[in-house]
Amino acid sequence: MDKLVIEGGIKLKGTAKVSGSKNSALPILAATLLTDEACIIRNVPNLRDTLTMLKILRTLGKSVEFDKGVVTIIQSRESGFTADYKLVSTMRASFCVLGPLLGKLKKAKVSLPGGCIIGVRPVDLHLKGFKALGADISVESGYVIATARKLKGAHMYLGGIYGSSVLATDNVVMAAVLAPGKTVIESAACEPEVADLTNFLIKMGARIKGVGTPILEIEGVEKLHGVEYSIIPDRIETGTFLVAGLITGGDIVIKDGYYQHLGAVIDKLQEAGAYIERFDNSLRIKSKSKLHPVNVTTLPYPGFPTDMQAQMMSLMCITKGISVITEKIYPDRFMHVAELNRMGAYIQREGPHAIVEGVKSLSGAPVMASDLRASACLVLAGLVAKGVTSVSRIYHLERGYEGLESKLQKLGAKIWREKEKI
């Protein structure tokens, strides 16, 4: 098993190119199950999670080729309808094969999902939506089994106790596009990744109105066809590089960084003291003054994304003053707090709140990643810490960041990979 070793204290300078969005790629790849025709998907990031999804598609009857960011998928044999535990348990997003399997085959058997340990993440909204469309649902031996003689459009509300659900919206939309009649989803997730999926489905021949809004209207069609499509850039990777530039006092340009997808993040970074310049599909960030503490509350899009909470916390650790970070999406998503405190941060947890008192500097230390975004947070802290930081369990990082180590090296960071001693 590898670890990342970082020698901190270097101001990052140069240009970083953002990869395709992981959270778009996974449901879009799953959506190819809705057609037997060939689909060509471009700008697909080479990640553990995307490779897992491609393995699942192969088990379900697809022939898959992946070369230099381009995935070509076509039906090669009779469609399967069972997504095995060994694959689904490693990645929560793989649960979104249930929707397209149910939509096309009227039956699906998918293991309950796994993924990062960031708190309770039930699938009740997914099942609620499938039931509204007319599916019979049961849970047996750790598998969700969904069947239907036929699906039918329905009016439903998919809001949960913490707001809308991206994956539930994706899943139900994919089940509904082939269901006769009209489906209306209220409290649909509005994230750019959901819009990317719906745009992909529309290009396949689906009829969807309200893209990017909390109310989606879907008119079922008889058949979808194959398409070529390019996935949007990853806004969370863009946000992570924005923090990397600011936390190190650097000056970097982020190619393919979409300003319009990061309004809440950019607002908070500017409040913290960043100078951010906007170009055509690129962003430049540098510090224009000393850093200022900011309060952050995570919310569904267009609010501040939960997937940027940990990275923002690393920035506030070295910002003089007190910041309060409130997690309203996954209230237990604070496993990185203890590791940051090991590096000299001063953070106190109070329920869904983390109170961060900025310190003069962080110190390099051996730390352990608990989930994907916590991994990025610890790398960011290591970039600014005095001394050497080693981040273990970087397989979490490899689930969502393509080539992060080499991209940071090109910006001047002293970061390298080593084998962990057992």
- Which residues form the catalytic set? 116
Listed in sequence order, the DSSP H helices in 291-335 are 309-316
User: Residue 257 and residue 275: Cα distance in Å, rounded?
Assistant: 15
Give the residue among 322, 287, 329 at the shortest CA–CA distance from 304: 329
Q: Which residues of 343-372 are buried (b: 16+ CB within 10 A; e: fewer)?
A: bbbebeeeebbbebbbbeebbbbebbbbbb
DSSP 54-119: HHHHHHTTEEEEEETTEEEEEE-SSPP-EE-HHHHTT-GGGGGGHHHHHHHHSEEEEEPP----SS
Q: What are phi and psi of 294, to 5 degrees?
A: -135, 150
Rounded Cα distance between 376 and 198, Å, is 29
Half-sphere exposure at residue 258, Cβ-oriented, CA atoms within 13 angstroms: 13
Q: How far is CA 386 from CA 64, 332, 336, in A?
A: 46, 29, 19
List of E strands, 8-69:
13-17, 39-42, 62-67
| Cα first-last separation, the chain | 9
